[in-house]
A and B are shown apart, each in its own frame.
Chain A
């Protein structure tokens, strides 16, 4: 067989093509993600314009034009310092201790610092998933820490701590206090309510359902106003309830109802075999829940608990409406102070509060996402 030269087979080497610029690399990325079609291009341009309108003024206000030092309103007035004035951080710096401690007496403020430290230890112990001695941590967070903080903050003459009336408490300290009281009371109470709602006893179930649904059906502010106006009515004459305690009761009851629903989700997610296994081992109801069901159920709902806590943390701002001096109220009180009467002081105060709440809430939500990923690791294929 003679060798045929196939006319359609190329014999010469073709020139190499240039690397495909539009498939890989930054230009390709931009084309694919920002300018893939005409509507997409228009959208991109609109958004870029929007960012151009919003971002530079915000940066100019918060950083470039901001005033960082000063002792009174003159530092933040355009007619005094002859330049555009952005945020008046000098105001925040001047009032930072008020924002943190409220009117807590200055010589006693170390007690609040100790309270912050104790709280940090407790929270870290609870949130760190692989922390040693978790049971001890729970005991610390739900029993030791609340009692210690109560003695520390209200004072106890017998051990040399001067009593400080709650009317002086305020600022970030109060915000944290309300949220911590909320979580410390709502978690145990919420677990009880959740168990009650899943109980076989009809009256227990009915009572739990009524409590949970009523509280979840009304706004927090009505619960707070109720605690404020009706709690004194329901107690015997002559018994007065502390102004701080009333909203605390309201917040605790309110968050307990939400916590109960979160915990109920966890209880339902525990497979039936676990309950049956525990029963076949001869465990009673209490032991079955304590040793078998709750440890699994609570572990599943850690993200849900943290999310509820984020909501609770944001909702603590509402106590300012019923007259407590939390961070929002402290800022409201300071921004109208004539010593710091300057045009941008209000914005600065709100920016500071926003920064504080945002960092706390965003941090917690990242934590909850992380836990969710870790817990889901077993299910991932």
Chain B
């Protein structure tokens, strides 16, 4: 038998029918076509750029931008460079994405669980929310929040007050601004120690439980360490050296609000729109994840005499998370990518600053588009790399 199996494959009559040669031919054809497209596109681009007298290369990043941006996380002015404008836009994108992801996760989990609630009316309202929000374009929702909700708010003179120094008007939201003193570092250090201690305690408790089965109140202790330690230090420094963290509360003057921290309406509208939109998708992910845990698991936990909260914590959620995590990550990426719709309402994110203003001023389309796309691509690829390694670690170990 083995002699037959090892015999040379029958002749196909012509080299045209040899799959290896065919494959090579197809690939060569593909390479030639792609190379030709790239070549002709670059030749044309060079011609066109020369005709339009547009410089090329990344030297423009050093030039003075000459435009201002209202919301900046790093110091920036009209005399800063285009490179600095890029940093400003990138940080604004990351800021709205980070805040949006945190809030959307909370809202999405809440609604996803509410959809499975035994309470009929709660489940129905959650379903209605998901079906309403998922089926409307995000751009429309952003325009609605920005133009129909935030614009018609009263002007600064008649701000809506929520008490405790929170105000809302058509120039955005005003919050108390923390004034950080030198001694405030003690509080920050205390917070750091608290987090480290909580993590260490969590790890120790987990190992203990694995070996002995004894449970410890990890959440309560952790919360006490993380919140209690800085609070204690704050009070102590407050007694000994004066309050290290004061709050500057926005003050209602005759025509305007003075002081405090102003959050621009574009940011509020964008965050609100992204959170509400993405939460509807996250809710579906969460619901699917919880439903994917078979009923036998819950029943077995009941049979062991676990309470329903313990069942949820120790049996259902760990298994559901395995199903939830991959689609949840892709929702986070979607939120980050969708934050580029900021350009429609004028929030200075990466696309608005760099692909909008900088591109229009310099005309260097290729460089601006390439840099912006590279940033989003890098975010996507890094996230998927991290997620893949996480998934490998979390994947069910089967026999």
Contacts and interface: CB of A to CB of B under 8 A. Distances in A.
B223 interface: no
A217 B376 contact: yes
A34 B140 contact: no
B140 A353 contact: yes
Interface in B82-118: 117-118
A346 B147 CA distance: 8
A51 B381 CA distance: 42
B23 A233 contact: no
A40 B30 contact: no
Nearest to B377: A217
Contacts of A350: 140, 143-144, 148
Given A34-B121, A47-B121, A233-B48, A207 B34 contact: yes
B288 to A, nearest CB: 13
Contacts of B369: 222, 225-226, 229-230
A232 B134 CA distance: 35
B295 to A, nearest CB: 16
B132 A234 contact: no
A279 B359 CA distance: 53
A357 interface: yes
A237 B119 contact: no
Contacts of B134: 361, 365
A226 B365 CA distance: 8
Interface string A314-344: 1101101100000010001000000000000
Given A48-B121, A222-B340, A222-B369, A320 B381 contact: no
Contact of B45 (A34, A233, A362): A233
A214 B374 CA distance: 9
Interface stretch (A197-205, A289-297, A298-306): A197-205
B131 A362 contact: yes
Given A43-B122, A357-B135, A233 B365 contact: yes
Contact of B344 (A310, A321, A346): A321
Q: By CB atoms of chain B within 10 A, which of A200, A201, A233, A353 has the most?
A: A233
A229 B373 CA distance: 14
A33 B380 contact: no
Interface in B28-63: 30-31, 34, 40-41, 44-45, 47-49, 51
B27 A204 contact: yes
B255 interface: no
Given A43-B119, A318-B139, A234 B44 contact: yes
Nearest to B38: A234
B47 A230 contact: no
A47 B120 CA distance: 11
Contact of B44 (A40, A200, A237, A365): A237
A33 B44 contact: no
Interface in A32-79: 33-34, 36, 40, 43-44, 47-48, 50-51
Interface residues of B, number: 53
Contacts of B135: 310, 314, 357-358, 361-362, 365
B23 A200 contact: yes
A219 B337 contact: yes
Contacts of B139: 317-318, 320-321, 328
Given A225-B355, A354-B136, A321 B343 contact: yes
Contacts of A321: 139, 341, 343-344
A47 B44 contact: no
A330 to B, nearest CB: 13
A261 B337 CA distance: 18
Interface in B185-237: none
B372 A358 contact: no
20 contacts: A33-B118, A43-B117, A44-B119, A47-B122, A200-B23, A214-B377, A218-B337, A218-B373, A229-B365, A236-B44, A237-B47, A237-B51, A317-B137, A317-B138, A317-B140, A350-B143, A353-B140, A357-B140, A358-B132, A361-B136
Given A217-B376, A321-B344, 17 more contacts: A33-B119, A44-B119, A203-B31, A213-B381, A218-B377, A219-B337, A220-B337, A222-B373, A225-B359, A230-B366, A233-B44, A317-B140, A321-B341, A328-B139, A353-B140, A362-B135, A365-B134
8 closest residue pairs by CB, A with B: A217-B380, A361-B135, A229-B365, A219-B337, A33-B120, A234-B41, A314-B137, A219-B340
